[in-house]
Amino acid sequence: RVAVVGAGVSGLTATKCCLEEGLEPTCFEQSRDIGGLWRYTEHVEAGRPSLYPSVISNTSKEMSAFSDFPYPEDFPVFLPNARLLDYLRRYTECFGLQKHIKFGTTVVSVRKRPDFATTGQWDVITETDGKQTSHIFDAVMVCSGNFSEPSLPLHCFPGIEKFQGQYFHSRQYKHPDVFQGKRVLVVGMGNSGVDIAVEASRVAAKVTVCTSRGAWVLSRVFDHGYPWDMVFNTRLMSLVRNSLPGPLSRGLINYRVNQWFKHENYGLQPEKSCFVREPVLNDDLPSYILTGRITIKPGVKEFKDNSVVFHNCPEEEPIDIVVFCTGYNVSFPFLEEAVVKVENKHASLYKYVFPTHLQRPTLAVLGLIKPLGAIMPVTEMQARWVTRVFKGLCQLPPQSVMEKEVNEKKKNQVRRFGLSYDEVLKTDCLVYMDELASFIGTKPSILGLLCRDPRLALTIFFGPCTPYQY
């Protein structure tokens, strides 16, 4: 028996993979419906992700599908949130997942049983309509996502306590009406920050985006009209990224990204290379900067009563509303800290999935990763691997080997990226997928295919690395 926490993208594919391996999943979802992050609600609900109605997927549909469930042909290439939720509903119906989901049920605690060393079992307490129930499970798959607890480090913004205007985290944002005629400051330049700035600029008196690190901005539409991820996420491009000397590889990729517009001329040039610093997907930002709708500024130095001062800019800039697009914390309130320890927004997990110190590998965390590509195929691959580990078909290395790899990877990531949550969890999507696929015997063999089907082999190597390859 396997407990699956959450019925979003990760939870649904985890439930389906359990069924395929002959396991008995029970999926606990605290809300009344599936979809997680992709289910829009007009009001922010405590403990679950929140999105604004205009959200569109940043990855194209063929690169974002589950490996055995393509999107319908009539779906657009980049999906509005409602269409993506429709896809998840079809997936749920096709594989009969609904009957395994308990809605309106919150997981209160997950604790090791006294005989965990021999059985690997867990005591799981859930709550439904105020009534708590205790369960015993052989394994647990944590699929609760990482967009529920906003990170709002106000202590990093001197003077914010004196600011007399309105401020809120991007999680609270729904519609641009709140910005009508206002002077707006957006703090942070991730995907949400740029989306909100673009929407605000259509109704606000003025919009300023401040960023201390810059951002690589890509259009969803790339070479010859292809989606950006179908151009960048190929086995050939992966070979270039990971085989050439670092400076040469980064230089080539930066050159490609700067072909759309030169980031330095727009005040956006990051210190880190593209694909080291995660790109932002937005089709409107460059033209909005050129037409004066959006102004780019460096990081905030200090807030005043009705204004802000930026680093390297001595003059005060009047503002009425501040939107903090400062990301999210990693949080597992139902787990003991000793089970999954979180430091600096980073959980030390083997292959981003398994705690390294458990005597039995019967708990896994899915989706706690920032692939440079679509998350759905990645969580599916994680689930396929995890369920086979639960069944004993795949073995994990000794604890010392796992801990050494986790520590080395963490040091490398922090050295390259710093302690940013988004960047410590960052990984090359294709390399990671291939690695997990090799564990379960589904990694494509290009050399083998060259002998049997040369055309297919060349398509797989030079073409986009779609999930169907696995």
The enclosing domain of 95 has a CATH number of: 3.50.50.60
Q: Which of 264, 151, 262, 289 is nearest to 208 (CA)?
A: 289
Within a domain: 82: yes
User: How many of the other CB atoms lie within 10 Å of CB of 224?
Assistant: 6
Query: CB of 2 within 8 A of CB of 388?
Result: no
- The predicted structure's pLDDT at residue 273: 63
Lowest mean pLDDT among 79-93, 227-241, 297-311, 344-358: 344-358
Does residue 35 surpass a pLDDT of 50? yes
Do the beta carbons of residue 26 and residue 98 sit within 8 Å? no
Are 372 and 413 within one domain?
yes
At which residue do the structure tokens 């049920």 appear?
Answer: 105
Closest to 53 in 3D by CA, of 31, 83, 81: 81
The whole-number pLDDT of residue 202 equals: 97
232 falls within a domain: no
Q: What is the pLDDT of residue 415?
A: 52
At 121, phi and psi to the nearest 5? -85, 160
pLDDT at 424 over 70: no
Are 298 and 339 found together in one domain?
Answer: no
Mean pLDDT along residues 332-341: 88
Token couple for 412: 């490398």
**Residue-wise DSSP of 363-395:** EEE-S--EESS-HHHHHHHHHHHHHHHHHTSS-
- 73 and 106 both lie in a single domain: yes
Query: Identity (one letter) of the amino acid at 190?
Result: G
Sign of CA dihedral 448, 452, 453, 454: positive
How many CB atoms are located within 10 Å of the residue 267 CB?
14
The answer to whether the beta carbons of residues 353 and 336 sit under 8 Å apart is: no
Do 138 and 178 lie in one domain? The reply is no
pLDDT, residue 427, reads 78
Q: 455 in a domain, yes or no?
A: no
Tell whether 70 and 89 lie within a shared domain.
Answer: yes
Going by DSSP bridges, is the β-strand pair 363-365/294-297 parallel, antiparallel, or unpaired?
unpaired
Residue 342 falls within a domain, yes or no? yes
Reported as a pLDDT band with limits 50, 70 and 90, residue 250 is confident
Asked whether the predicted pLDDT for residue 405 surpasses 70, the reply is: yes
pLDDT at 63 over 80: yes
Both 165 and 203 in one domain: the answer is yes
Residues 170 and 301 in one domain: yes
Instruction: Round the average pLDDT of the chain to a whole number and report it.
Output: 92
Q: Are residues 156 and 296 in the same domain?
A: yes
pLDDT at 244: 84
- Window from 137-141, 169-173, 315-319, 403-407 with minimum mean pLDDT: 403-407
Handedness of CA 344, 348, 352, 353 (dihedral sign): negative
* pLDDT band at residue 47 under the 50/70/90 scheme: confident
**Domain count across the chain:** 2
Largest alpha-carbon pair distance within the chain? Answer: 71
Determine the pLDDT at residue 344: 66
Residues 184 and 296 in one domain: yes
Is residue 462 assigned to a domain? no
Question: What pLDDT is recorded for position 360?
Answer: 95
Residue 224 in domain: no
| pLDDT-derived band at 410, boundaries 50, 70, 90 | confident
At residue 345, the pLDDT reads 64
* 136 in Cβ contact with 278 (< 8 Å): no
pLDDT digits (tens, 9 = 90+) for 77-88: 999 999 999 999
Under a CB-based contact definition with an 8 Å cutoff, are residues 248 and 255 in contact? Answer: no
Which pLDDT value is given to residue 223? 87
| Whether pLDDT at 51 is above 50 | yes
Q: Indicate if 43 and 84 belong to the same structural domain.
A: yes
Specify whether 126 is located in the same domain as 30.
yes
Is residue 464 included in any domain, yes or no?
no
Same domain, 27 and 136: yes
pLDDT the model gives residue 206: 98
- At position 425, the amino acid (one-letter code) is L
Residue range of the domain that includes 160:
152-219+260-324
